[in-house]
Structure 1
């Protein structure tokens, strides 16, 4: 019964994830088209650069939507843990696209620093307002997302909102004052901010791929807590990793200090799993051993 209930929640959560990303994808595609046309009409490198960035975001959102859906597939003989980790692939591709977009913005903006070109400030103001509205709507849709895929996508869109606020302020200043150099300066500011935040997200994603201990899980504290059960003498071959940034897994060998009946072992396993749930570990594989038993794994870890 509890198994079925857990599966229902998982499916509902994934439906919510993909629904959020789907809405953000269509908002982004529509606005990217508006932005490319507007950037050409206003002769603004800041807007054209952001259009390229948004085009990359649209591709990223499409991939995120696809991989988030793909990650719902049930476990198979080939992928015994299921396809949850495929959502990370979307996050990695998103990050790469953003870095490439950031580099493109820098290449386009630097010549304009040397020879500033006056853009159409009034048109930039209109596009700036639209940018804040479209991207703001997408961020509101994704702000409650729990998957790393959604968080990466939400960060992209939040960067866009902040970028558009900066473009809007710059456009207002250029409307009243003759300072065309503000346009490429805004472009560079947006690009550097994007690259810095992508680095942080990519670092987290790579840690998950490399099966590092998840953020927020204290490895030593978990290990000590396991040995505080009166029946457990020691814990070794302990591994904690995350499947996709949400679903945390643990495997451990637990050395018992006395012989237990099958019922006592089952009770102990239940208590250990309840303890691990408190540390947000959803899946635990536990192997019991007895003192003096020769464990080949013990010498390796």
Structure 2
């Protein structure tokens, strides 16, 4: 629950910071007559929508489980991460499509207005990134990359505007835009891949199911571990199930001891939701995968 509360709080702070700055950007864009800033404002408005979605779904993910959602709402946070990543990826591709033509046809920019807005933009987005830095949930990381894109973008604007204050080189703007977009795409693709793998119930990347099997089968009175399944609800909460073939004539107390030993092994692997089924050596496993 602590993870959910901190994640929800972090995203809410980032949302309000981004929304307030987006309004400021729109006003500043009109006052400085800068299309570059207005374009950034449109992009940040899209980020605000994404943050609002992430904020809502993160809050929803804190609700307890129900008869229909027996694992609770934790995966709604993952859904927010996928949607946010898709929006960010689409936005980055769009920026590339706009920036590449400007490499050949640079456009004039308002240097003074860019400098002022860039300083404020770096401060606001940098604060939001620091708030989300170190977040464990995929949703937090994706939102952080949204804001990191904005922060680095404003750093690029600041550098370009300062250089152009001394030497007029409008081509620097599209060059940095292309570099920024490529950087963000390279960072966000692994998060999309991880989220898709979780939805497809891949074994968590930090878990070695063969090692777990070996440890369990090394326990006294355990002949075999089979029909093993290991997957994650949201990247943090892992689910494990398996069948254990036990020695004949094993006592109830010994069976309980095996269960506790298996739970201990799984806890060491970061798995706190195991389901175990015990079988005898001559018992047919009717539910095993073929």
CA shift for structure 1 position 298: 3.5
Which residue of structure 1 aligns with residue 18 of structure 2? 28
1:117-156 residue pairs with structure 2 within 5 A?
117-156=107-146
Contact 1:44-1:124 within 8 A present in 2 as well: no
CA shift for structure 1 position 117: 1.5
Q: SS at 1:85's partner residue?
A: helix
Q: Distance in 1 between matches of 2:58 and 2:47?
A: 16
> Aligned pair in 2 of structure 1 residues 67, 259: CA closer, same or farther (>3 Å)?
farther
Pick which of 79-88 and 161-170 moved more: 161-170
Q: Does 1:231 align with 2:229?
A: no
Q: How many residues align?
A: 289
Normalised to the residue count of structure 1, the TM-score between the two structures is: 0.90
CA shift for structure 1 position 262: 2.4
The equivalent position to 2:71 in structure 1, one of 50, 74, 81, is: 81
1:51-62 residue pairs with structure 2 within 5 A?
51-62=41-52
Which residue of structure 1 aligns with residue 106 of structure 2? 116
Contact 1:24-1:138 within 8 A present in 2 as well: yes
> Aligned pair in 2 of structure 1 residues 299, 87: CA closer, same or farther (>3 Å)?
closer
Contact 2:145-2:184 within 8 A present in 1 as well: no
Which residue of structure 1 aligns with residue 259 of structure 2? 269
Q: Distance in 2 between matches of 1:191 and 1:48?
A: 18
CA shift for structure 1 position 42: 5.3
Q: Distance in 1 between matches of 2:43 and 2:236?
A: 28
| Per-residue deviation, residues 54-89 of structure 1 (Å, max 9, x unmatched) | 222211111111111111121111111111111111
| Per-residue deviation, residues 216-263 of structure 1 (Å, max 9, x unmatched) | 111211111111111211111111111001001111111112332223
Normalised to the residue count of structure 2, the TM-score between the two structures is: 0.93
Pick which of 244-253 and 258-267 moved more: 258-267
Which residue of structure 2 aligns with residue 286 of structure 1? 276
> Aligned pair in 2 of structure 1 residues 124, 281: CA closer, same or farther (>3 Å)?
same
Q: Distance in 2 between matches of 1:147 and 1:66?
A: 15
Structure 1 spans left out of the alignment, 5+ residues: 1-9
> RMSD between aligned alpha carbons?
1.7
Query: Following TM superposition, where does structure 1 have runs of at least 4 consecutive aligned residues deviating by more than 4 angstroms?
Result: none
Structure 2 spans left out of the alignment, 5+ residues: none
Contact 1:42-1:124 within 8 A present in 2 as well: no
Contact 1:259-1:290 within 8 A present in 2 as well: no
Contact 2:34-2:113 within 8 A present in 1 as well: no
Contact 1:44-1:183 within 8 A present in 2 as well: no
Contact 1:251-1:285 within 8 A present in 2 as well: yes
CA shift for structure 1 position 49: 4.2
Which residue of structure 2 aligns with residue 160 of structure 1? 150
Q: Distance in 1 between matches of 2:35 and 2:157?
A: 10
Contact 1:234-1:254 within 8 A present in 2 as well: yes
| Per-residue deviation, residues 30-64 of structure 1 (Å, max 9, x unmatched) | 1122223444535353x444333322221111111
